[in-house]
Chain A
Amino acid sequence: MWKDFVDNLIYNTLNLDGHFADALNFFIYDTIKIWFLLISIIFVVSYLRTHFNTEYVRAYLQNKSQFTGNVLAALFGIITPFCSCSAIPLFLGFIQARIPIGVTFSFLISSPLNNEIAIALLFGIFGWKVTAIYIGFGLLIAIFGGYFIGKMNMEKYILMDVKPMEGELDEVKISLTFRQRSREAWEYTVDIFKKIYIYVMIGVGIGAFIHGYIPSDFIASYAGANNPFAVIIAVLMGIPMYSNAAGVMPLVEVLTSKGMLLGTALSFMMAVTALSLPEAMILKKILHVKLITLFFGIVGFGIICIGYIFNTIL
């Protein structure tokens, strides 16, 4: 419906054709579509989120057994917000509550990986199937990544002494009315949207240019099936791009339509969200470099495996 409207506007009302018309059509269609989906999905996620905060998650995870804890932590990671500036209190607070570091890492991996912006963009660009696969594999990485880190006895690499608390934390539910929750969710949505709408435009803009002007085989020859290292390169390129996830993903859409394999695209997007340099720099204050390297290594390895599995089976 929206597609027909834009087609009609560009080709009939404005009477344009050629590469420029295609690029413009793509730009208008995609920008508005992604904006719309971003707003609706972020709103839904942040509404759900008004029921849980990180303090609640911590109380809930206390005294859960090793593997169950990893699974629950990864699941909670989907709905809880994550800001890398909170990484230190989160990490230390979890240790304080005697939550094993493996479980903490499951949460630390899942929370940025399954963030609402990434989910909204994936859904808007690739549809629900790819989104479900992304979340599913993302959870696997978070669960098993955390589980393996937990198995390696890395406690000695935490550079700060935290006294474990005694007793149990109360799971304090947040009591708000429907109106308050909606208002809070809406304010949060507007806030996020204001921060990222421009990146979506830039990403779609570059995408529109590629869409209209660059031939398909150009990208396929660099990032397509012929390049066995495509996944690894994609992951390495994704690491410094965290803050620009909103701009990067529309670009990935175009790259896949021009011959980049979907597994490579998924790996790239996971690397963008899960492996963030600023977060590593912040964690360096409380964690030994060895532990951070292990964290990045395991997550990076998991993402690369997923990329190759995907490229092989699809």
Chain B
Amino acid sequence: MKIEILGTSCAKCKQLEENAKLAIAKIGGFHSIEKIDDIMKIMEYNVVSTPGLVVDGKVLSTGKLLNPQEIIDLIQ
């Protein structure tokens, strides 16, 4: 899976990235996590409320700080 975290440098966005890492550590396997800071790229996903969670190009959540368990529920 390719996981992208959309968000400029706000506290919630950084926390979501951390939580995504924890979620990945729990489910195991090889997955990439990338933080997208570029506002133009964020807009290409049609997201207007950060942080956003994108998996394999699909927007799964916007404007919410998800905890690791919620991320696992969403991506599985």
Interface residues of chain A, those whose CB is within 8 Å of chain B, are 53-55, 58, 81, 83, 85-86, 88-90, 92-94, 96, 160, 162, 169
Q: Within 8 Å CB of A53, what residues of B?
A: 49, 62-63
Taken residue by residue from 33 to 69, chain B's Cβ proximity to chain A (1 for < 8 Å, 0 otherwise) reads as 0000001001100111110000000000011000000
Given known contacts A53-B63, A89-B39, is B48 in contact with A94 (CB within 8 Å)?
yes
Residue B71 at the chain A interface, CB threshold 8 Å: no
Nearest-neighbor residue (CB-CB) of B11 within chain A: A85
Question: A58 near B13 (CB under 8 angstroms)?
Answer: no
Given contacts A93-B46, A93-B48, contact A85 B62 (CB under 8 A): no
Interface SS of B by simple majority: loop
| A86 and B48 within 8 A (CB) | yes
Contacts of A96 in B (CB 8 A): 43
Residue of A nearest to B61 (CB): A53
Closest to B48 in A: A93
Q: In the complex, are the beta carbons of A58 and B48 less than 8 A apart?
A: yes
Q: In the complex the two chains form, what is the Cα distance from A169 to B50 in whole Å?
A: 18
The answer to whether A89 and B42 touch across the interface, beta carbons within 8 angstroms, is yes
Q: Which residues of A contact B50 (CB under 8 A)?
A: 85-86, 89
B49 and A89 within 8 A (CB): yes
In the complex, the answer to whether A55 meets B47 with C-beta atoms within 8 Å is yes
Chain B residues with CB under 8 A of A93: 43, 46-48
Residue B21 at the chain A interface, CB threshold 8 Å: no
The reply to whether A54 and B49 form a contact with Cβ atoms under 8 Å apart is yes
In the complex formed, the residue of B with least CB distance to A169 is B46
Judge whether A55 and B46 touch: CB under 8 Å: yes
Please determine whether B12 and A54 come into contact, CB atoms closer than 8 angstroms: no
How near does chain B come to A285, taking the closest CB pair, in angstroms?
A: 9
- The contact of A90 among B7, B13, B49, by CB within 8 Å, is B49
CB contacts (< 8 Å) of B12 on chain A: these are: 83, 85
Separation of A81 and B48 alpha carbons in the complex (Å): 12
Least CB distance from A99 to B in Å reads 10
Indicate whether B10 reaches chain A with its CB closer than 8 angstroms.
yes
Q: Is the CB of A55 within 8 A of B49?
A: yes
Given contacts A53-B49, A83-B49, A93-B46, list 7 more A-B pairs with CB under 8 A. A54-B63, A55-B46, A55-B49, A83-B63, A89-B8, A93-B43, A96-B43
Closest 10 CB pairs of A and B: A85-B10, A93-B48, A54-B49, A86-B49, A90-B48, A54-B48, A89-B48, A86-B50, A58-B48, A89-B50
| Bound complex: CA A93 to CA B43 (Å) | 6
Q: List 24 A-B contacts (CB under 8 A).
A: A53-B49, A53-B62, A54-B48, A54-B63, A55-B49, A55-B62, A83-B10, A85-B7, A85-B8, A85-B11, A85-B50, A86-B10, A86-B48, A86-B63, A88-B8, A89-B8, A89-B42, A89-B43, A89-B49, A92-B39, A93-B43, A93-B48, A160-B39, A162-B43
Instruction: Please report the C-alpha to C-alpha distance between residue A88 and residue B7 in the assembled complex, in whole angstroms.
Output: 10
Interface residues of B in 14-41 (CB under 8 A from A): 39
